[in-house]
Amino acid sequence: MPLTSTSHRQRLERLVGGVRQRLSPLTGVIRRGLSRLPGPPIVARIVAGLMALALAVLAGFAASTGFGTATAETVEGKPVPAEQVPLIAQAALSCPTLTAPRLAGQLMAASGFVADARTDDGGSGVAGLTDELWQRWLPWPDAPRLDVAANIVALAHHMCDLVGQVSHGDIDGDTWQLALAAHHSGMSAVRADRGVPEAAAGYVRTVVGYAEWYSRQPDFDPDAADASPTPAPPAPPAGSAPRPIPDEHLAAILAAGRTCPAVTPAKIAGQLMAASGFNPNLLGPNGAQGIAQFLPTVWSRYATAGQSPWDAATAIATLGRTMCALTTDLGGLTADPYPLALAAFQWGPGVQAGGAPDLDTVDENAGRVLAYAAFYAQDPRLGGRPSPRPPLSDTTRGPVLALPTPAAPTVAGAGPGRPSAAATRPAPVATRSTPAAARPTTAPPAAAAAGYRIRGYGGNCVYAPSAADGQQLVVWDCNGSARQKWTFGGDGTIRMGSLCMDLADASSADGTRIQVATCNGGWAQKFWINGSGDLVNSAIGRCVDIRDWSTANGAGLQLWTCTGEANQKWTRVKV
């Protein structure tokens, strides 16, 4: 019988466990005894070393025989409820590492497939998710807390995220089992132990055992007639012809492309095509997630708390805000910041200080996105002219798309007095950023431009009651005052004399005061009026709003989520 057979592993497990249990209380006694040994300290150190070596050999022997979580025995589970089988099979397509039997095993361990189960650690629902995890991985807005489908999808996305973190954490071992351990005990514990922590070993063995059992059941047998659904296609390889924009994503792409002038709907579509081929369930080889292929670090910086990159509509909207923010941040570094913004998105914000990495993949990605964007710019649904070529179908590959490879952009150094804009920009949640005193030095004034009044709801105009730094802006009867005259600078600012329209305290929270402040070139001073008449901060995609729909003189202006309502609509009237 081989040494790694089940019976031998069972005996070895009992042996090692017994030895460890017996040695544990002796360890302190031995150490105290060693401290009292007569003779030089080197003697005590030698004895201690021999004891440690003996224990290490025993542990190494156990590991070499295959003992551990990887050899967990099959554990019989409950039958999967019929209505949950297709939900599990579909959710398991979220990433290649996850399979339906593995997901079923985790659900069995968490709840036994009971929709309203409660766990000892405060989790609830069929997946046993804590409220914190539920809010983070909420698969769609307003999903009921105990909804079975929503909880299964949320668990799948959470596990795929952990798989991505493990894959890039340089930790040896089975990726899925390490992800299970991270789910149980936290990623920090897995990193600290460089493997499955002892506290998580029992949980991992149990789930692995259940997964082995479910892999043999007809519900999830790949050879059965009712096999799992076919996974969605991977990201398109270089040179692939553009795919048609799916109808279900069109509205989100149009909205994302109205966030700022530099990022058009065609560019959003091109980036989605290059990243995922419009596949909302793609987990990239570098851990990037969803239809837009957000890296977790980029998502956490720019997304609204509680949202998921696996929700296509949310990811597309966040992509628009993110690319606008990156192009704004990089506007002073190169004539055309968009290719560099693509590199920053692909590699993470840390790439910005020194420019794009000197890697062919960065140039290739920028070229692909721009080529796809040129194609989608012809789509009449995005405001372009109809293409003379026949429309693509889902099954028509068409000619290979010529993808230009642009030269890497030349990037000027940030300079000793200029901090990274991305490092000081808050994510679009109710948080405070760097106070005004710590902002970059004053940017040079924009070139002289025509003056305008900005007229809004009720026919009143944007007005600064004084020219003081920090003065809140209000609406007032249009009267031709110098403090109602605004210029739209080529640097993305809206200026009244030497002051710029500004977000108080560089906050991105709803209700933030709109004010005038000394121009500093920061993201909190980037505004424009889009084609829909919204006065938008181009870095975070939120709108200038008249508080409480007031038409009275002195009604204050505030930042608010764009709603399309009349109290957020503005027109420029040339003075």
CATH number at residue 158: 1.10.530.10
Structural domain of residue 130, as residue ranges?
82-220
Measured CA to CA in angstroms, residue 311 lies from 84, 314, 318, 322 at distances of: 21, 5, 11, 16
* Residue 209 CB neighbours (<10 A): 20
Structure confidence by residue, pLDDT tens digits, 406-429 = 333 333 333 333 333 333 333 333
Is 73 part of any domain? no
pLDDT higher at 57 or 342: 342
Domain membership of residue 389 (yes or no) is no
Main-chain dihedrals φ then ψ at residue 263, nearest 5 degrees: -120, 105
> What rounded mean pLDDT belongs to the chain?
76
Question: In terms of domains, do 283 and 185 share one?
Answer: no
Q: Are residues 206 and 255 in the same domain?
A: no
What pLDDT score was predicted for residue 295?
86
pLDDT bin (cut points 50, 70, 90) of residue 235 is low
Lowest mean pLDDT among 76-80, 222-226, 363-367, 371-375: 222-226
Same domain, 208 and 256: no
The four Cα atoms 39, 41, 47, 49 give a dihedral, to 10 degrees, of -170
**DSSP-assigned letter for residue 407:** P
Same domain, 465 and 555: yes
pLDDT-derived band at 450 (thresholds 50, 70, 90) equals: confident
What is the percent of the chain where pLDDT is above 90? 40
Cβ of 69: how many Cβ atoms within 10 Å?
23
CB 421 within 8 A of CB 540: no
Tell me, yes or no, whether 466 and 569 share the same domain: yes
Q: Quick one: tokens of 213? A: 């059992």
Is the residue at 405 inside a domain? no
Which is more confident, 447 or 183? 183
Count of the separate structural domains present in the chain? 4
Q: Would 114 be classed as within a structural domain?
A: yes
- Domain assignment present for residue 513? The answer is yes
Distance of alpha carbon 386 from alpha carbon 69, whole angstroms:
59
Average pLDDT over residues 23-40: 47
Strand, helix or coil at 258?
coil
pLDDT of residue 161: 85
Residue partners of 27: CB distance under 8 A and separation at least 6: none
Q: Please check whether residue 430 lies inside any domain of the structure.
A: no
124-156 pLDDT, tens digit per residue, is 999 999 999 998 888 776 789 999 998 998 999
Q: Are residues 251 and 318 both part of a single domain?
A: yes
Please say if the pLDDT value at position 256 is more than 80. yes
- CATH code of the domain containing 489: 2.80.10.50
What does the pLDDT average to over 70-91?
84
Average pLDDT over residues 232-251: 78
Checking if the pLDDT of 119 tops 50, the result is yes
Between 189 and 388, whose confidence is greater?
A: 189
What are 346-399's pLDDT values in tens digits? 876 544 444 445 455 566 778 889 989 988 998 889 876 554 443 433 333 333
Q: What does the DSSP 8-state code read for residue 356?
A: S
Q: How many degrees, rounded to 5, is the angle at CA 310 between CA 165 and CA 340?
A: 75
Q: Residue 194 pLDDT more than 80? A: yes
Which pLDDT does position 288 carry in this prediction?
83
87 band by pLDDT with thresholds 50, 70 and 90: confident
Instruction: Read off the pLDDT of each residue in 42-48 and give the average, rounded to a whole number.
Output: 49
Q: Are residues 18 and 133 in the same domain?
A: no
Q: What are phi and psi of 56, to 5 degrees?
A: -65, -40
* Sequence letter at residue 202: G
Identify whether 532 is part of a domain. yes
Does residue 36 or residue 402 have the better pLDDT? 36
Indicate if 45 and 174 belong to the same structural domain. Answer: no
Say yes or no: 111 and 195 in one domain. yes
Asked whether the predicted pLDDT for residue 104 surpasses 50, the reply is yes
Residue type at 567 in one-letter notation? N
* Of 111 and 531, more confident: 111
Give yes or no: residues 179 and 205 share one domain.
Answer: yes
The answer to whether residues 458 and 570 belong to one domain is yes
CB 500 within 8 A of CB 518: yes
DSSP three-state, residue 487: strand
DSSP secondary structure letters along 256-271: HTTSBTTB-HHHHHHH
Separation in Å, CA 575 to CA 76, 417, 485: 79, 37, 7
pLDDT tens digits along 258-317: 999 889 999 999 999 999 999 988 877 777 888 999 988 788 788 887 678 888 999 999
Task: Match 């029992």 to its residue by tokens.
Answer: 202
Per-residue pLDDT at 442 exceeds 50 = no
Q: State the pLDDT confidence band at 43, using cuts at 50, 70 and 90.
A: very low
DSSP character for 278?
Answer: S
Does 318 lie in the same domain as 193? no
Structural domain includes residue 100: yes
Percent of the chain at pLDDT exceeding 70: 69
Scanning the structure block, which residue is given the tokens 């949640």?
429
Q: What are phi and psi of 26, to 5 degrees?
A: -80, -20
Listed range (132-146, 242-256, 287-301, 433-447) with the worst mean pLDDT: 433-447
